[in-house]
């Protein structure tokens, strides 16, 4: 799964799918989604039928990893041949979730995931920046050890999307009175913001892990001690 830049949701993984599914989703229709085995690519019913995927017993094998290398290669070759002929497009996973949510509502079905429609997303980044400015003007946060931050303090605000809320992470504020002070500053800010869903987390300290993957260096949170979490959903 690669990454895509979505206007609404920012940098996101994307689902790879045939052009027919993509077109259906673009027009707000929630289609039947099938998959091409081994490679997680989504197909519409007619592509699925056209390549007779269901009818090839070789593809319905439960556990690919138990096969011999020869058999695995044979199956991979068949799948790659199909894959190469398909016209494929990528769509942001959060946009797909938004369409699924709308469809379940239209059909009065239960929502299949916890939805955060009412949270600040990438498209409201200006408001998210204002929240950061407001908090920094009212409270002096400690310096961060994170090397890629825009601000060098230990306040991290990350936009939400359909499947997760806006996240406000704060390190080194261990005093309960100060934590309450920050929570009430956040409360004040959200009085005039309609998208109220958010998660505020106070952690004792930063413990970043550096993960080298070829050319790409990833920085991930390590074992951090959570002191307090406040969710508004
Ligand atoms: Zn198709
Ligand atoms: Zn999106």
In this predicted structure, which of 110-119, 139-148, 210-219 has the lowest mean pLDDT? 210-219
Query: 116 CA to middle of ligand 1, Å?
Result: 30
Ligand 1 centre and the CA of 21: distance in Å?
A: 6
Count other Cβ atoms within 10 Å, centred on residue 130: 13
pTM above 0.95, yes or no: no
Distance 93 CA to ligand 1 centre (A): 18
Ligand nearest to the CA of 31: 1
The pLDDT, as a whole number, for residue 59 is 61
pLDDT tens readout for residues 19-49: 999 999 999 889 999 988 878 899 999 999 9
- How remote is the CA of residue 165 from the centroid of ligand 2, in Å? 14
Partnered with residue 209 across adjacent β-strands are: 220
Q: Which whole-number Å values give the CA distances from 202 to 20, 84, 139, 164, 206, in the listed order?
A: 45, 48, 14, 18, 11
Find the 183 Cα to ligand 1 centroid distance in Å.
49
């Amino acid at each position: 799964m690669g990454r895509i830049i979505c206007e609404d949701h920012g940098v996101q993984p994307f689902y790879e799918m045939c052009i027919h599914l993509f077109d259906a989703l673009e027009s707000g229709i929630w289609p039947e989604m099938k998959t091409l085995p081994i490679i997680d690519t989504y197909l519409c019913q007619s592509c699925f039928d056209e390549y007779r995927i269901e009818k090839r017993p070789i593809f319905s094998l439960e556990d690919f990893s138990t096969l011999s290398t020869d058999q695995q290669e044979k199956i991979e070759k068949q799948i790659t041949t199909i894959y190469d002929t398909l016209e494929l497009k990528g769509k942001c996973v959060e946009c797909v979730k938004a369409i699924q949510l709308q469809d379940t509502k239209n059909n009065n079905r239960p929502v299949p995931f916890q939805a955060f429609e009412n949270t600040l997303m990438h498209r409201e980044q200006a408001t998210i920046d204002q929240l950061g400015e407001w908090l920094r003007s009212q409270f002096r946060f400690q310096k961060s050890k994170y090397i890629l931050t825009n601000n060098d303090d230990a306040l991290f605000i990350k936009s939400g999307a359909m499947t997760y809320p806006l996240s406000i992470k704060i390190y080194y504020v261990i005093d309960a009175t100060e934590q309450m002070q920050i929570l009430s500053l956040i409360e004040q800010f959200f009085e005039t913001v309609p998208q109220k869903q958010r998660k505020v987390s106070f952690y004792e300290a930063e413990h970043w892990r550096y993960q080298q993957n070829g050319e790409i260096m990833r920085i991930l949170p390590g074992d951090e001690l959570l002191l307090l979490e406040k969710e508004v959903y």
